[in-house]
Amino acid sequence: MAQFKTLDDLDLSGKRVLVRADLNVPVADGRVTDATRIERLLPTLSDIITQGGTPIILSHFGRPKGEVVADMSLEVAVPELERLTNQQVTFIDTDWTDTDVAWGLVLKAPPKSIILMQNTRFHPGEEKNDAALAARMAKLGDNYVNDAFSAAHRAHASTEALAHLLPAAAGRAMQAELEALQKGLGEPKRPVIALVGGAKVSSKIDVLEHLLGRVDALVIGGGMANTFLHASGVDVGKSLCEKDLADTARRIMDRAGEEQCAIILPVDATVAWHFEANAPSRQYGLDAMDKDGMILDVGPASIERIKGALDDAHTLVWNGPLGAFELPPFDTGTVTIAQYAAERTKAGKLVSIAGGGDTVAALAHAGVKNQFTYVSTAGGAFLEWMEGKTLPGVAALSA
């Protein structure tokens, strides 16, 4: 990963600082129901204000598809933003076609206040990375700070084009994220183990391919492991399985051999006959699977095998649950391994990095979301990072 600039590299005093945030917050009945994304922005806002700058926040909110949609106005975030920052927030409504009026309002905003601009996606140029829209945005500020890793995989006007028009740097949350990811796959403490689970191989082929050359061991769990087991000649019965990807699975296993990356597949399974919570289940070895059953979790021997692999590792990168963790008792594998990784992290023996929507939910369910070295809540951006892709919003901050 290239070096990137941070807030420390910008002169903020007396400057208007455009801050690209991710305020795509959950809302119900006109109120923000979870302010995590606002909370994550606080260190950046506080640093800018302390150094005498004025933050001007830019964010998308929902998918208005380039049109002004009243119930996707970012004004909804103002009360929570004021409460959490203890500062006055000036909301500037604009459809982004002409920002002269917005500029007049920026000039009138009281000193030391925070300015929040209307949803960037109200203009079609946002998602097209339109240069003219980025230029209109650039006129509002002196510097640009991107604090939205979760939106950095998209080359949009406010995440990419704009970064080239002003002195640009990563905000504190973006900085923390990039530094954590660097520890995961950039310059990790070896051996590195990756744990990839979730429903389907098809959504994670690029992740698996990229990891093969970078990690020492790759644990494959969840529904996607069934495709690998099937490709190895195991009868997976009625389990979720992408049989058409058997060749892909075999190719990945062959390449792992060439790359000297150990592939760790389940050696036993928890099988049920209904996909529902508390469905009756049994544990089977792979040579004696029930043809009418569905593998919904890794079995106890697999859990011990994965624990052993974690004992050998210094760094863990994890995306995707090991089983159908939403349905107890099929959360056992995911919960046990999450808690074990948290224990080893606490003991200073493991650097643990995890990310992706379902993975964050699984770690929260296991009660260890705050006990990993770093948990990324970015979904698409985290996966693209695991695929080894250059994220346009990050590339634009290169030092």
Which residues of the chain form contacts with ligand AMP (CB under 6 A)?
198-200, 203, 222-223, 240, 295-296, 320-321, 323-326, 358
Tell me the sheet residues that pair with 156: none
Report which secondary-structure segment, H or E, holds 302.
helix 300-312
Of 302, 376, 313, the C-alpha closest to 337 is: 302
- Nearest residue (CB) to ligand AMP, 77 versus 296: 296
Nearest residue to ligand AMP on Cβ basis: 198
The token pair at 33 is: 């129901």
Contact 134, 159 (CB under 8 A): no
Give counts: helices (H), strands (E), the chain. 14, 17
- Nearest residue (CB) to ligand AMP, 193 versus 295: 295
The token pair at 11 is: 């002169």
Report CA-CA distances (Å) from 141 to 17, 42, 138. Answer: 5, 19, 6
- The nearest distance, CB 240 to ligand AMP, in angstroms, is 4
In whole angstroms, what is the distance from residue 25 CA to residue 251 CA? Answer: 41
The token pair at 225 is: 């492991």
- Nearest residue (CB) to ligand AMP, 165 versus 199: 199
- The nearest distance, CB 196 to ligand AMP, in angstroms, is 9
- Nearest residue (CB) to ligand AMP, 32 versus 269: 269
- Nearest residue (CB) to ligand AMP, 299 versus 321: 321
- Nearest residue (CB) to ligand AMP, 272 versus 391: 272
- The nearest distance, CB 223 to ligand AMP, in angstroms, is 4
In whole angstroms, what is the distance from residue 58 CA to residue 158 CA? Answer: 7
- CA 37 from chain centre, in angstroms, equals 12
Order of strands across the sheet with 268-272?
A: 281-285, 268-272, 294-298
- The nearest distance, CB 199 to ligand AMP, in angstroms, is 4
Catalytic residues: 37, 200, 357, 380
Question: Mind giving me the DSSP string for 160-214?
Answer: TGGGGTS-EEE-HHHHHHHHHHIIIIISPPSSEEEEE-SS-STTTHHHHHHHHTT
- The nearest distance, CB 26 to ligand AMP, in angstroms, is 19
Q: Please list, in sequence order, all residues whose beta carbon lies within 8 angstroms of the beta carbon of residue 34, skipping any fewer than 6 positions away.
A: 25, 26
Contact 143, 15 (CB under 8 A): yes
- The nearest distance, CB 334 to ligand AMP, in angstroms, is 8
